[in-house]
Amino acid sequence: MTFPLLVAQGDPVEIGASYGEQARALIEGNVEDYRARFRAVDLGTTEVRRLGEAFRTATHEHTPRIAATLDAVAEGCGVAVGDIYAINARTELMLPAGMTATECTSVAVMPEMTVSGHTLLAQNWDWFPSQRPYTLVLATRDERGHEIVCLTEAGMLAKTGLNSTGVGVCVNLLHCDRDGVPGGVPYHVLIRAALDQPHGISPALKVTSLPRSASINLLIGAAGGVAVDLEIAPGATGRLLPTDGLLTHANHFVSDIDVRDAIYDIGGSSLFRDYRLRQLLASSAADQAVSTSDVAAALRDHLGFPYAICRHVNHEDAAELQSLTCSSVVMDLDEQVMLVSDGPPCGSAFREISLGTVFDSQSSAA
């Protein structure tokens, strides 16, 4: 099985409409799957749509291009617009249940440490197994000529990805005592906002100015050799930079940001995964010889199985706590190439997707 690859081009409305039409069945399935998760935190369909509409208002105010795209996605797939914004804000809507499934381990490797001399960015995306059938790769080229390719859930515009300016983004779930304030743009809109900038990493980092109601970690890198990790909480942001050519992150705060980190209420593998990923790459980095294959191998690591960097379902866990590595992504930001696995990388081949060729033909989820 490989994730569907969808290609959409045009202005924001045209991109959204094309995406919605192509991914109709996947979006409908993803919305239905999240309805069950929202019900688990006492949110019925009517309330979810009302909350989604509120996030729509904030998205139109702060990121109007993205809002226009999401509105067109809803129209294109025939799903209520409030439902589309609700799944983009699924993190915010699930916050009342507290931190349950933690997701993702990320790494940036600076060019002076790589065999190619390129900047590498990578992560494992760990989430609920039921979402895996509704995952896809989305490639867009807008009227400005700006191109993005990203892994995402159906109905969302980005998760992990890179763009034609050489900027890449990885994401990690965070949770702290500041979360849950009203307002703000949805979690996954923040990710798209970082990728949607056609002038490189400097405007991408302005994502810190957007209001939010849930914490998020963004590891942002750029071709040519820079990476910045942003621990973004409502009303506060922390910054981390590479050390010895590596920058790793999991699901806990590392900077001196003024928050109470909720990870310590549940403990778990986040407390070693970032260190473990650095440990696995340190020797190759010291030799200035890290390759994409080395990064992919590190993302297959099973220390602490099943709650490892490469995560697997523990069927003894309650259903709401079960998670696995739904996908592994390795990006060469200079080559503008993304390697994507469908499922845990220990047993799934990586598919190569290049911005240089992805628009040569249109693909459909049908």
Q: Are 178 and 259 in contact (CB under 8 A)?
A: yes
What pLDDT, in 10s, does the model give residues 133-156?
Answer: 999 999 999 999 999 999 999 999
Q: How far is CA 252 from CA 113, 255, 261, 268, in A?
A: 26, 10, 7, 10
pLDDT cut 90: percent of the chain above it: 90
Model pLDDT, residue 183: 85
Q: CA 325 to CA 313: how far, in whole Å? A: 9
Mean local confidence (pLDDT), 205-218: 96
Tokens read off for 128? 């609920």
pLDDT mean across residues, the chain: 94
Domain count, the chain: 1
- The closest of 158, 167, 107 to 296, measured between CA atoms, is 107
Q: Is residue 14, in this structure, part of any structural domain at all? A: no
Q: Is residue 29, in this structure, part of any structural domain at all? A: no
Q: CA 342 to CA 325: how far, in whole Å? A: 9
Q: Is residue 91, in this structure, part of any structural domain at all? A: no
Q: Is residue 1, in this structure, part of any structural domain at all? A: no
Q: Are 120 and 290 in contact (CB under 8 A)?
A: yes
Q: Find residue 341's DSSP bridge partners.
A: 350
Q: Is residue 162, in this structure, part of any structural domain at all? A: yes
Q: Is residue 337, in this structure, part of any structural domain at all? A: yes
Residues 6+ apart with CB under 8 A from 77: 20, 21, 23, 24, 27, 28, 155
Supply the CATH number for residue 213's domain.
3.60.60.10
The answer to whether residue 98 scores a pLDDT higher than 70 is no
Q: Is residue 256, in this structure, part of any structural domain at all? A: yes
Q: Find residue 8's DSSP bridge partners.
A: 140
User: In terms of residue numbers, what domain contains 112?
Assistant: 99-357
- Which range has the worst mean pLDDT, 52-61, 76-85, 101-110? 101-110
